[in-house]
Amino acid sequence: MTRLWNDPADFADEMIEGFVAANERYVRRVPGGVVRSTVSPDGQVAVVVGGGSGHYPAFGGLVGQGLAHGAAMGNLFASPSAQQILSVAKAADNGGGVFFTYGSYAGDVLNFDAAQDRLRDEGIACETVTVTDDISSASLDEKHKRRGIAGDLTVFRVAGAAAEAGYDLDAVTRVAALANERTRSFGVAFTGCTLPGAPEPLFTVPEGRIAIGLGIHGEPGIDETDIPTADGLAELLVSRLLDEVPDGVSVAGARVVPILNGLGSLKYEEMFVVYRRIARLLADAGIVPVDPHVGEYCTSFDMAGTSLTLFWLDEELERLWDAPVDTPAYRRGSVVAAARSTAVAVEALTAEIPASDEASRTVAAAVRDALQTVVDTIDAHVDELGRMDSIAGDGDHGIGMQRGSHAALAAGVAAQEAGAGAATVLARAGDAWADKAGGTSGALWGVILNGVAGALGDTGTPSAAEVAAGIETGVSGVTSYGKAEVGDKTMVDALVPFTTVLTEAVESGASLPHAWGKAADAATAAAADTAALLPKMGRARAHGQHSVGTADPGAHSFALIVSALAVVLERN
């Protein structure tokens, strides 16, 4: 269990504050994460990593000379928002372009891609390589869908070394992609992890059993077997990885970096016993181990588990791997200390409130009421949503929706009290939701609210047709960014029928409250129907069979919200 916290909602922020206070010679805090506190050469590519908190030393612990220039750090097990990533990237930028690399999870992809688009729009060159090392999370035919686990380290370190060596952005991207292609990982777990304040772990493993194919966010394994001996575990890990050798690699004589990673509660002594057998098995296969790593490189709070990563080297990759590194949690070789940065802390800018008229300010008051209703609805169902999400995911959907909706309400209230019109109130709420919730759902709710905001405007009273058009804009944004389709067992399964019924009812002459009520009923039915589906997107995809019989939490929360808002519309 996780034993020490103040308020679980503040855990990630307080953790980052303490981490920076303990490591000021390496890092400084900026909105959204941390960047190096030392000077980097002008024109050097800035390597920016990131992901949810709860995986130390990933991601902030890997910021420093020879490795990352910055880390965007989301809430616990939640991807950083696009705004957080953008803030870190701008603070880390040295004028040579920004290189993003992170584990491949739906929320991270969504938010990093959005930040990349915004950087490019501002004239800052940006490229990305996602880490896809976990062989248990998708088949070889769909390896682009695999998630990133402890193999993050190989890609991060190669990219950082390349940037330090003066490689340009295209060259950093090339070697990082090669490192990812030559990295394979496989893991197991004896117990799940427990989030701060939670009464029980996100998943449990029966006594005497071990979960095969773990995730790093409390996702259950894809299979179970009896707990083996230390030698038996070593044989399982090595055999699975040698069954899938990267293209163009010959096992005999290959030079490989083995990384035995602890997930949080497994003791070093236990891992050394396992590695003893791993080393023999690799030697028997004709493999030459290079710079073996045994320790904690990507954790999951108190999870008792381990993963083995094999990084298959070529001459260039080995040279980059051998380069010196000096970060708070990871040091190799001898680095000439750079001068401390004198950069001024980046502060968030507060945009001016656009002009509005009385009619729009009246609508803005109704929007404020609607946001309060959303908060009340999510607060009443937060535990239910978390339980649903823990079936095949990481269990954070409820708390993520709670963080996002509360932030949206606070931002909306502030804008409305400052005299903002309806569009500005809703847009500020959407931006705050995306920023504070993080993850996939946070980003998508930000897209939805901003889509509707564009239709409302800051003058006049919007018609039912304009509101429906705004919802359609939001749906288009969700499917464009999230890539999900109807049938993938996501929020889209409820969002699309809601929009279709709403638009058809409005076009047939129904009032907005009546049309919304019919659409909410359609969304509720569609959300319930997702219980029969297998997930094809996100973290739940790797554990799809576990989720059959349970509705998708994103679709369910959407249906809860639009049903509650139907009452608000009738009242207003």
pLDDT of residue 429: 96
Q: What is the pLDDT of residues 504-514, one digit of tens each?
A: 999 999 999 99
Mean per-residue pLDDT for 354-368?
94
Terminal-to-terminal C-alpha distance of the chain:
47
The answer on pLDDT for 304 being more than 90 is yes
Domain 8-332: assigned CATH number: 3.40.50.10440
Mean per-residue pLDDT for 331-357?
78
DSSP letters along 555-569, please?
HHHHHHHHHHHHHHH
| CA–CA separation, 88 and 29 (whole Å) | 9
Give me 82's structure tokens.
């696009």
- The more confidently predicted of residues 4 and 94 is 94
Question: For the chain, how big is the Rg over CA atoms in Å?
Answer: 24
Catalytic residue numbers, as ranges: 217
Find the range with the poorest average confidence among 103-107, 333-337, 535-539.
535-539
| CA–CA separation, 131 and 185 (whole Å) | 11
**Helix 512-529 vs helix 464-482: crossing angle, to nearest 10:** 30
Residues 6+ apart with CB under 8 A from 373: 564, 565, 567, 568
Mean per-residue pLDDT for 103-121?
92
| CA–CA separation, 129 and 143 (whole Å) | 14
Q: What is the pLDDT of residues 277-286, one digit of tens each?
A: 999 999 999 9
pLDDT of residue 99: 99
The band of 348, judged by pLDDT with boundaries at 50, 70 and 90, is: very low
The answer to whether the peptide bond before residue 497 is cis (omega within 30 degrees of 0) is no
The helix, strand and coil proportions of the chain, stated in percent and rounded to the nearest 5, come to 50, 15, 35
The answer on pLDDT for 173 being more than 80 is yes
The band of 540, judged by pLDDT with boundaries at 50, 70 and 90, is: low
- 424 in helix, strand or coil? helix
Q: What is the pLDDT of residues 440-485, one digit of tens each?
A: 888 899 989 998 998 889 999 999 999 999 999 988 888 887 778 8
Closest Cα to residue 462, out of 568, 359, 354, 571?
Answer: 359
Amino acid, single-letter form, for residue 442 = G
pLDDT of residue 346: 47
Mean per-residue pLDDT for 225-244?
97
- 33 in helix, strand or coil? strand
The structural domains of the chain, with segments of one domain joined by +, span: 8-332, 358-571
- The more confidently predicted of residues 519 and 571 is 519
Percent share of the chain, pLDDT over 70: 95
pLDDT of residue 406: 95
pLDDT of residue 175: 99
Q: Which residues of 505-535 are buried (b: 16+ CB within 10 A; e: fewer)?
A: bbeeebebbbbbbbbbbbbbebbebbbebeb
- CA distance to 128, 337, 492, per residue, from 49 (Å): 10, 22, 29
CA angle 52, 55, 56 (to 5 degrees): 120
Mean per-residue pLDDT for 546-550?
76
Give me 273's structure tokens.
């016993």
CA angle 466, 472, 473 (to 5 degrees): 90
Q: What is the pLDDT of residues 415-434, one digit of tens each?
A: 999 999 999 999 999 999 99
Mean per-residue pLDDT for 314-320?
99
Report the CATH architecture of 358-571: Alpha Horseshoe (1.25)
| CA–CA separation, 456 and 452 (whole Å) | 6
pLDDT of residue 567: 87
- The more confidently predicted of residues 248 and 572 is 248
pTM of the model: 0.85
The band of 411, judged by pLDDT with boundaries at 50, 70 and 90, is: very high
Same fold, 8-332 and 358-571: no
Find the range with the poorest average confidence among 305-314, 342-351, 403-412.
342-351
Q: How many CB atoms lie within 10 A of CB 289?
A: 15
Q: What is the pLDDT of residues 9-68, one digit of tens each?
A: 789 999 999 999 999 999 999 999 999 999 999 999 999 999 999 999 999 999 999 999
Find the range with the poorest average confidence among 293-297, 344-348, 549-553, 565-569.
344-348
Work out the mean pLDDT of the chain and round it to a whole number. Answer: 92
| CA–CA separation, 28 and 38 (whole Å) | 9
